[in-house]
């Protein structure tokens, strides 16, 4: 459910149509996006936009009750994982395998592709409600 204005019309449109427990993913530039899932490609060059900048922008707009992150990120990219934890605050984090995360992309309303090149910089956000 929308919380605030967002300049990217494609992201804003997807979020405005989301209901409770619908999901939206944000991924690094190498994440394979299923053909049946909408792709919102923001990637310009290496590192632009970053995963964290994109996550922060989406969190201004989307009420999130739970996220799914690849458990590999905790070990391989611990600095990024700690940044995500800090940004999410009290949002529930569920760790799943990277392979399972890729399978679950088929059920996402869309995947936002960033220019991020940090390993396992991928997340699935599950929509909450604002009431």
pLDDT tens digits along 16-49: 999 999 999 999 999 999 999 999 999 999 999 9
Confirm or deny that 81 is annotated as ligand binding. no
pLDDT tens digits along 66-120: 999 999 999 999 999 999 999 999 999 999 999 999 999 999 999 999 999 999 9
DSSP string, 56-78: HHHHHHB-EEEEEEETHHHHHSH
In a domain, 3, yes or no: no
> Looking at residue 66, which CATH number applies to its domain?
3.40.1650.10
**Which residues are catalytically annotated?**
20
| Spatial separation of the C-alpha atoms in residues 26 and 52, rounded to whole Å | 10
In a domain, 4, yes or no: no
Q: What global pTM score does this model have?
A: 0.95
The pLDDT value recorded for residue 6 is: 85
The pLDDT value recorded for residue 28 is: 98
Residue 16 domain boundaries? 9-127
The pLDDT value recorded for residue 1 is: 57
Confirm or deny that 107 is annotated as ligand binding. no
Confirm or deny that 122 is annotated as ligand binding. yes
């Amino acid at each position: 459910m929308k919380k605030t204005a967002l300049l990217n019309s494609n992201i804003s449109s997807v979020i405005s149509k989301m209901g409770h427990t619908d999901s939206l993913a944000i991924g690094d530039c190498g994440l394979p996006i299923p053909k049946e899932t909408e792709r919102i490609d923001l990637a310009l060059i290496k590192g632009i936009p970053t995963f964290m900048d994109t996550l922060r922008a989406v969190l201004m707009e989307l009420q999130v009750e739970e996220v799914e992150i690849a458990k590999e990120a905790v070990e391989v990219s611990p600095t990024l994982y700690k940044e995500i934890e800090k940004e999410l605050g009290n949002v529930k984090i569920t760790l799943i395998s990277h392979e399972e995360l890729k399978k679950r992309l088929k059920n996402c309303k869309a995947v936002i592709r960033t220019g991020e090149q940090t390993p396992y910089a991928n997340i699935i956000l599950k929509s909450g409600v604002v009431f």
